[in-house]
Amino acid sequence: MTTDNPIRFRLTGAVILIVIAVIFLPWLFDGAGYEYMSGIDDPVPDTPTFAAPDIALPSEREAAPARPEREGDGDSRIADLQGVENGGAEGDEDESEPSDVVSPEPVRQAPESRAIDAGWAVQVGSYRDGDNAREEEARLRDAGLPAFIDESEAEGRSIYRVKVGPVAQRDEAQKLGDQLKDELDITGIVVTFP
């Protein structure tokens, strides 16, 4: 045995392996063995149309029929009422002192909350302590903003996110965020609701 024989055997083996790879690899990777994946080329169906619910506004609803009066009762009730004297109008005519009229202070009400299933809100803070979140919510509500707390859990701990909203459109949420920045110097981020 000479020294070039082992090298020749190795080179011959390498050439044979390369030829086999050139012949069989394209055959393996051309996808002929795979079944056609059904459903990929199917067209997406059109959006289904649903019948609009028949919702009548309060002004469009029919009034409930009036309760018919019984014939015999009406006359007797009127006769009973005519015999009754009204003693509330009588009083001391000499008393002319003006009574102290107390005008109630206007109560600031929170904006009307509308039930929104999906929309946008402005997140103004995220707290680990629920008391801090409630304080921030109260401060925002005192400013007349519709604030709420969204409680979730991360890493086994509760997180309290204080949000303002919700509103139906993203543009409205952007305006709400600008209002927060201008009036309360709070920078918030617009997030989806819920």
How far apart CA 187 and CA 174 sit, in angstroms, is 11
Higher pLDDT, 34 or 31: 31
Q: If you average pLDDT over every residue of the chain, what do you get?
A: 75
Confidence at 25, pLDDT banded by 50, 70, 90: confident
Task: Identify the helix (H) or strand (E) that includes residue 194.
Answer: none
149 or 88: which carries more pLDDT confidence? 149
Residue 110: band (very low, low, confident or very high) from pLDDT cuts 50, 70, 90: very low
Express each pLDDT in 59-85 by its tens digit.
655 656 666 555 555 555 565 556 556
Question: Left if phi > 0, otherwise alpha if psi is -120 to 50, otherwise beta: which for 75?
Answer: alpha
Average pLDDT over residues 152-165: 88
- The number of CA neighbours under 13 Å toward the Cβ of 168 is 4
Distances (CA, A) of 134 to 125, 147, 184: 11, 10, 17
Task: Tell me how far CA of residue 121 lies from CA of 99, 156, 189, 193, in angstroms.
Answer: 49, 25, 8, 6
| Alpha carbon separation from 90 to 27, 85, 86, 96 (Å, rounded) | 112, 10, 8, 14
Of 165, 129, 174, which is closest to residue 145 (Cα–Cα)?
165
Say which residues have a Cβ less than 8 Å from residue 168's Cβ, sequence separation at least 6: 116, 119, 120
Its pTM stands at 0.40
Domain annotation for the chain: domains and CATH numbers = 119-193 (3.30.70.1070)
Model confidence at 184, pLDDT cuts 50, 70, 90, reads confident
